[in-house]
Structure 1
Amino acid sequence: MDRLTRSHRGAAMTTPPIVAPATARTPIFEGVQALRFVAALLVVITHATFYAHERLDDSITVWNGAAAGVDVFFVVSGFVMAVTAGPFAVRGGWRFFAVRRVIRIVPLYWVATTLKIASILVLPGAVLHAALTPWTGVASYLFLPARNPDGAVEPLLGVGWTLTFETAFYAVFALGLLLRRNVLVFASTVVLVVASGHLLRPAEDWPAWAVYFDPLVLYFAIGMAIGRIAGLPRARRGLLLALGAAAAFTVVAALAPEGISWQRDALFRKGIVAASFVAVVLAEPLFRRLASRRGADRVLRRPLLALGEASYSLYLFHPLIGPVAPAVLALIGLRAGALSVVGTIAVSLVAGIVIHRWVERPLTRRLRGLPYAGLPPDGRTRQAVASERAADRALTRSPRSRRRDLNP
């Protein structure tokens, strides 16, 4: 089913690093955190209309805005890697980077995948667009590309197709840290080379592993470029971000293949994604000012940040929860498409927040005790340690306390 999402389809170095130095405190970009929620919400809305169309009333139009949400996810990943890589650019830092990425991505995804497999076994008639075989099960847990019954390259948990790209990107980033190279240049070069592979990929009947050649991976490079520029002096930042957005739009549009479904409106979509992300980064001072205004902070800023924190849980679990709304309406004979869409969005938001609070945060906190789960010793400055401890405390403290810790 998530073919819809695709179809519109983070000691010295041998070279000077272009990542944030380990002596500087890693900045907290609150606007980017809020943008995570917006991206996840776009995906949820698209899927809500699809569930209503497929399970309740096929006259309901499917809204395809999820494409921009997925694009934003990839830009955010590249951006986060660029602004947080500094402490890991030391000897042995790649191990710490890899373990922290695994803790962030893998456990919750495995929980969601296990629940999806359980639903296939217990309620096979209620699960569409997924078939459990030994290979699809193994591939899903290992983030390996495999085709589903519809021919789309995606895991049993359909939305996990984006994590196939994310984990590959993190592996490339870890390799750059291991080789002690200029990690942003290394990762960007690999991304550009891989994206150019789409020129050699046949239009159809290509092997599942060739999915990595999708030009969508260029968004990782765009995010890294924006992250790098965001660390420059403010006087140069605006101009460089604007020029970078224009260049990114041109490159992505030029490499986007013609004649396939996700290309539809691609130029407009890619321009909007680049512009919106740049605007959010530039608007960071606005989020800071909101923190000083009690009303705006309580009504807007804190809820957006809390929802941004829960965006991963929302993204992973809404396909398991969302179809309940149209299924219940169909059971009682009420063909109300709008009610189905609103119901799916509502139950998905509630489930995402609950799962984040009672599953994701406790699980992450427990795994933070694993070896290499902190910052590498050579990269641990007093400020970096303080930031890490504040983030750890934020996993269990109230929104008001989290705000004090993360904004001393």
Structure 2
Amino acid sequence: MTETVVSTRKPQPGAAVLVEPPGATTVPRRRQSSGGRLRALDGLRLVAALMVAAYHYGGRDGEVAEAWGTSPKEQFPTLHEYFAYGCLGVQVFFVISGFVICMSGWGRPLKSFFASRASRLLPAYWAAVVLVTAVFALPVVAYEAVSPSDALVNLTMLQMPLGVDRVLGVCWTLWAEIRFYALFALCVVLPGANRRRVIMFCGIWMLAAVMAENANMPLLDIVVMPEYAPFFIGGVGLYLVHLDRRDAYGWGIVAVSWLTGQHFAVQSLWHAPSADGFSYRSSLGILAVVTFGFVAVAAIALGWLRWANWRWLTVAGALTYPFYLVHEHLGWVVIHALHRGLDLPSGVTFALTAASMLMLAWLLNHYVEKPLTPRLRAMLTKAR
């Protein structure tokens, strides 16, 4: 959810992959792409973000019910059951992230990799934390803002391990992303990315993840993230497939990741049918959405969606991260104003809320990310 989708590039001269002897560790030559960007991946990221937004606006109870005045189950008697599957957009994000981080970290020194990730994440994140904190502090807003101390801690992105109240509800996924970046940086980028090292990284991480599931070791759970590791690993495997569609190890990593990923998703999100429950997610429905994420990224990796090369997809990809950051909590404020303040119908309110959050995302991208991201990257790259 947090990556800039850029064109694939050949490993830089002098990188470890180019000085290895011929054999299994050498990355095959990449097929030439007709397009400069993987624009279909940009579009898929926006689809995943809209899935999550549908879940937050109409697929669950809680604070959003206060915004609507009643449960979204009453606002969307039929659609709420489909909106409930939108939370799986996060798993789709993680598959995309695995693909893009492997692509962006290949042939790049650790300092450059860190600068790229930090400059991509932080400017929009800082702006979103300040904006949501300020809006929630307004007397007319019914939701309670976090304390000033907790708001300051949120600027570090370390509120989850510190147990501090979150300004942004979605920031728990950023904590998972940061841990993935750290693992990939230490195990792959620092020693130098090559095919053998990436395969070993995926295999060891997957083994550690399945062992951690029943080890009852909280620290191990924090590090290896058993519930989400298969999705990151699957994305990395799909990047190997992107390099060479005949790579049996790459396909094996993808297959094992899909099999274990769907297990963890069903285990955490399925629940038995209940008249008192908000909605019922079937195991088949969860499996279908997880499979969609893997198949969609695989289609992009194999070049099947190269025809989707429209420039507006690049804009869509640029809006995804700021939209993801602000859509939930600020969306509740907009829903309350439109539905309860102006008495607009539920469907119109839903559409206008999503559109307003996309417009806000454009403003954050245009006035925050575009000017600050390159400056922060340059500062971090030049710093000793």
Normalising TM by the smaller chain, what interval?
0.7 to 0.9
| Equivalent in the alignment of 1:197 | 212
Structure 2 residue 243 is the aligned partner of structure 1 residue 231: yes
Q: Give 1:397's aligned residue.
A: none
Q: Which moved more, 1:53-62 or 1:28-37?
A: 53-62
TM-score by length of 1: 0.69
Which SS does the other structure have where 1:70 is aligned? helix
- How much has 1:271 moved relative to structure 2? 2.1
Residues 251 and 119 of structure 1: CA distance in aligned 2, closer, same or farther (over 3 Å): same
Among 364, 367, 388, the residue aligned to 2:373: 364
Whether 1:216 aligns to 2:228 is yes
Q: 1:387 corresponds to which residue? A: none
Conservation of the 8 A alpha-carbon contact between 1:40 and 1:311 = yes
Question: Once the 2 structures are TM-superposed, how far is the Cα of residue 345 of structure 1 from its aligned partner?
Answer: 1.1
SS where residue 170 of structure 2 aligns?
helix
- The code of the aligned residue for 1:38 comes to V
Contact 2:38 2:300 in 1 (8 A): no
Does the Cα contact within 8 Å between 2:213 and 2:221 map onto a contact in 1?
Answer: no
Equivalent AA in structure 2 for residue 165 of structure 1: A
1:100 and 2:120 correspond: no
Detail structure 1 runs of 4+ shifted over 6 Å in the superposition.
18-22, 24-27, 206-209, 239-243
Whole-angstrom CA distance in 1 between matches of 2:165 and 2:204: 23
Matched, 1:188 2:202: yes
Pick from 277, 281, 306: which aligns with 1:287? 306
Q: Aligned to 1:172, what secondary structure does the other structure show?
A: helix
- Match of 1:64, SS? helix
Deviations 1:37-96 (A, max 9, x none): 1111111222222576431232224422322311111111110122222221xxxx1111
- Which of these residues, 186, 190, 212, is aligned with residue 175 of structure 1? 186
Corresponding position of 1:165: 176
| Between 131-140 and 66-75, the greater mean CA deviation after superposition | 131-140
Structure 1 residues 277 and 178, CA gap change in structure 2 (3 angstroms)? closer
Corresponding residue for residue 355 of structure 1: 364
CA displacement at 1:245 relative to structure 2: 4.7
The CA distance in 1 between the partners of 2:228 and 2:239, in whole Å, is 18
Give the RMSD, CA atoms, in angstroms: 3.8
Are residue 72 (structure 1) and residue 89 (structure 2) matched? no
- When structure 1 is superposed on structure 2, of 177-186 and 223-232 the one drifting more is 177-186
Tell me if structure 1 keeps the 8 A contact 2:15–2:107. Answer: no
Question: 1:127 matched to which residue of 2?
Answer: 143
CA drift at 1:246: 4.0
Deviates more, 1:257-266 or 1:44-53: 257-266
In structure 2, the partner of 1:118 is 134
Query: Residue 34 of structure 1: CA displacement?
Result: 1.5
Question: How far did 1:184 drift?
Answer: 2.0
Name the counterpart of 2:4. Answer: none
Task: Name the residue aligned to 1:321.
Answer: 330
Assess, with a 3 A threshold, how the Cα gap between structure 1 residues 186 and 370 changes in structure 2: closer, same or farther.
farther
TM-score (norm 2): 0.73
Task: Give the 3 Å change call, closer, same or farther, for CA 123–141 of structure 1 in structure 2.
Answer: farther
Partner of 1:145 in structure 2?
A: 160
Paired residue secondary structure (1:145): helix
**Deviation string, structure 1 residues 16-47 (Cα, Å, up to 9, x no partner):** 5666889x999732211211111111112222
Query: What letter corresponds to residue 350 of structure 1 in structure 2?
Result: M
Q: Which residue of 1 aligns with 2:10?
A: none
Which letter maps to 2:236? Answer: M
Cα distance, 1:372 vs structure 2: 1.6
Q: Does 1:54 align with 2:73?
A: no
- Cα deviation, residue 311, structure 1: 0.8
1:267 paired residue among 266, 287, 306: 287
Structure 1 contact 136–146 (Cα < 8 Å) conserved: no
Structure 1 gaps, min length 5: 1-10, 292-300, 375-408
What percent identity do the matched residue pairs reach? 24
The alpha carbon displacement at 1:209 in A equals 7.5
1:233-265 Cα offsets, whole Å, 9 max, x none, are x5x37x987766544322223455747658853
| Contact kept in structure 2, 1:140 and 1:155, CA below 8 Å | no
Distance 1:108 1:196, change over 3 A: farther
In structure 2, the gaps of 5 or more residues are 1-13, 272-280
Between the aligned partners of 1:243 and 1:186, the Cα distance in structure 2 is 13
In structure 2, distance between residues paired with 1:96 and 1:316: 25
